[in-house]
Chain A
């Protein structure tokens, strides 16, 4: 564990800060706003239109607003649209964003950087590894995208990798926690090591920073479907346990040599940061443009970059959408940084956390004290990707049960029933990796049509 106890963790400071871009220092005592955006539909039709959208409209608008409002730092994040898998589409945008962020840095002294998050378009049924000859050669394209991004000037390289998604989708729709443990905790970790070892090499070669990943394709699907108080698809006790499993998997990018920051939509960030001490990006109350969740304040508790997740570029009364959401982000970050400057960061951290702590099981396990306990369960199992994922899941489930039993956390009857079943199921699983893999492989090759263990080198 990077921290001696949970109370040591706070926003704006990481044990291993990272510097890049034009003056950006993440985790070095100040929280930084990270603005993410999507181009308008239709702008992806040709390279010139796409570059204009990203550089001349989105980036310029955002940088202008940052200076207008007096923000000292701005990190942009470009999550590539699928069409950017073609270098002709992506290279002009990456180069253009590098130029404009440098220009604003030189002109106004604002610290700037751009994170490029490349698309993982690999499909389980077409092969996840290079040489598997899928119809689109997506595995090859994935590494090509990383090369293009880093060569053209990405300050930070990130990705939302998809390993294990075929099982995660099955797990979430069928309420099968073992499928999630196998898909994300085990196979997802194997795929992360495969992908991130290569990303780290590519980033190093081009003097970019290999940031980190998120289990967007698994735990976020689970959380999204669990939704809010009116939703009725997935139980939040189930989604909370999937989040804990995802932490053991997201950590692998850092173990493979990435330095952080990880991705904002990785709500598992507090757990991963507790273990590794690397800077983490998070999203919450200021990402309502992208989605709603039940821990909007809590997620700010230990963040180093504070993100809006994504907003489509369009006009609003207060300017363009990126300008308005940057204003929202930047003022929140200024509050955090004021708290740090006045020695009140732990008070603000606890207010953020307390606001959402008992609003649901997901927020409850991500509250930094509980996140630390889950991190410890992972760390106690070292490099055993099965045992540490299982330990994370069981620790999270027992934390929720403990919260319920002590009357701190309320659960619906259904949430409680699902939780008890999850604990029972996890406790019945084999104690050894080999036996678990044999059991899971046999079970899921019958149930999950796109599952192929060759995708994971097995």
Chain B
């Protein structure tokens, strides 16, 4: 069936094997983890996705450290190492998801010690287009946004245009996102953006998902593009810094560069 002596690697190549990054998570972590022993223990719980150890680590840390510092210098610091490992193809999606959940367990515990709760970076409304039952990309992006300190209103999938507009008018987010896997459902995005403009709402409308390309996302006013979930937080950071949808479009490559 398979001829012996044929070098199939010369016909089609295995770039995944040839170019794999053999650096260990520990080697990257060594350079990036906090030096303070208490913060390091908290960060390591996130980095190595230890659901059961993050609670005790945070509780122990609260005896000597401020809650906000534990979040920023421990939990978020651990997640930053995870992001680096993901970018370097050492960690993959499941590790991102599990580390984010571990971080959220820790944040929930630490936040109880902060009067009035932790300040959010901003509010974002996320949904999958009307008629579209596929929302896995939106769910991944939502985890990444929460991990980055944003508050997310997740409206789910197959969300009617009118419901999206009503939610945005009510909750006044800094950004609304929509994902679509089918070209026939993505037409909901310009329709929703037009209704928002009619209400004098001018926040960026991020269009994303398998069916959407940059050309389409930028074909209607308010529209901005995200090619993949990890690009959403850096784009949101720029909106928080005061960028409007036109400026996001103009500097898009720079904003998402390397992500």
Contacts and interface: CB of A to CB of B under 8 A. Distances in A.
A-side interface size class? 35 or more
A414 B92 contact: yes
Given A83-B131, A358-B8, A412-B17, A173 B187 contact: no
B158 to A, nearest CB: 7
Contact of A82 (B11, B92, B182): B182
Given A121-B133, A123-B157, A354-B2, A235 B20 contact: no
A410 B17 contact: yes
Interface in B86-116: 86, 89-90, 92-95, 97-98
A359 B12 contact: yes
Interface stretch (A35-43, A93-101, A108-116, A252-260): A35-43
Contacts of B16: 229, 236, 360, 412, 415
A38 B158 contact: no
Contacts of A172: 136
Nearest to B90: A414
B213 to A, nearest CB: 12
Contacts of A369: 1
A144 B208 CA distance: 31
B136 A221 contact: yes
Nearest to B86: A232
Nearest to B20: A412
Given A41-B186, A173-B93, A174-B94, A230 B12 contact: no
A234 B90 CA distance: 12
Contact of A359 (B3, B14, B92, B182): B14
Interface in B1-52: 1-3, 8, 11-12, 14-17, 19-20, 22
B183 interface: yes
B14 A229 contact: yes
Given A82-B184, A174-B97, A413-B20, A162 B133 contact: yes
Nearest to A359: B12
Contact of B184 (A83, A120, A414): A83
Contacts of B8: 354, 358
Residue in A39, A120, A123 with the greatest tally of chain B CB atoms within 10 Å = A123
Nearest to A369: B1
A125 interface: yes
B185 interface: yes
A173 B94 contact: yes
B242 to A, nearest CB: 32
A384 interface: no
B244 interface: no
A174 B182 CA distance: 24
B3 A173 contact: no
A121 B158 CA distance: 9
Contacts of A38: 182-184
A167 B168 CA distance: 29
Contact of B93 (A44, A234, A408): A234
B59 interface: no
A296 to B, nearest CB: 10
Nearest to B131: A82
Contacts of A221: 136
A230 B20 contact: no
Given A121-B158, A162-B133, A357-B2, A229 B183 contact: no
A426 B98 CA distance: 20
Given A229-B16, A233-B92, A354-B3, A169 B139 contact: yes
Interface of B is mostly: loop
B156 A125 contact: yes
Contacts of A353: 1
| B contact residues, range | 35 or more
B132 interface: yes
Nearest to A294: B12
Interface in A70-128: 81-83, 120-121, 123, 125
Given A38-B183, A354-B1, A369-B1, A229 B131 contact: no
Contacts of B22: 413
A233 B156 CA distance: 22
A353 B1 CA distance: 9
Contact of A235 (B2, B92, B133, B136): B92
A293 B84 CA distance: 27
Given A81-B182, A229-B14, A229-B16, A350 B1 contact: yes
Interface in A38-71: 38-42, 44
Nearest to A172: B136
A411 B17 CA distance: 6
A408 B95 CA distance: 29
Given A173-B139, A233-B93, A410 B14 contact: yes
A344 interface: no
B140 interface: yes
B20 A414 contact: yes
The listed residue with most A CB atoms (<10 A of its CB), out of B11, B93, B185, is B93
Nearest to B157: A123
Contacts of B95: 175
B23 to A, nearest CB: 11
Nearest to A176: B94
A82 B132 contact: yes
A355 interface: yes
A107 B60 CA distance: 82
Contacts of A412: 16-17, 20
A312 interface: yes
Given A41-B187, A123-B133, A221-B136, A234 B17 contact: no
A2 interface: no
A-B pairs, top 5 by smallest CB distance, nearest first, are: A175-B94, A82-B131, A229-B15, A233-B93, A81-B184
Interface of B: 1-3, 8, 11-12, 14-17, 19-20, 22, 86, 89-90, 92-95, 97-98, 131-133, 135-136, 139-140, 156-158, 182-187
21 contacts: A41-B186, A41-B187, A81-B131, A82-B185, A120-B133, A121-B158, A165-B133, A169-B135, A173-B93, A174-B98, A221-B136, A229-B14, A229-B15, A229-B19, A232-B93, A354-B2, A354-B3, A355-B12, A369-B1, A410-B17, A414-B90
Interface of A: 38-42, 44, 81-83, 120-121, 123, 125, 136, 162, 165, 169, 172-176, 221, 225, 229-230, 232-236, 312, 350, 353-360, 369, 408, 410-415
Given A38-B184, A234-B94, 12 more contacts: A83-B184, A165-B133, A169-B135, A173-B94, A175-B94, A225-B136, A232-B86, A355-B11, A359-B12, A360-B16, A412-B16, A415-B16
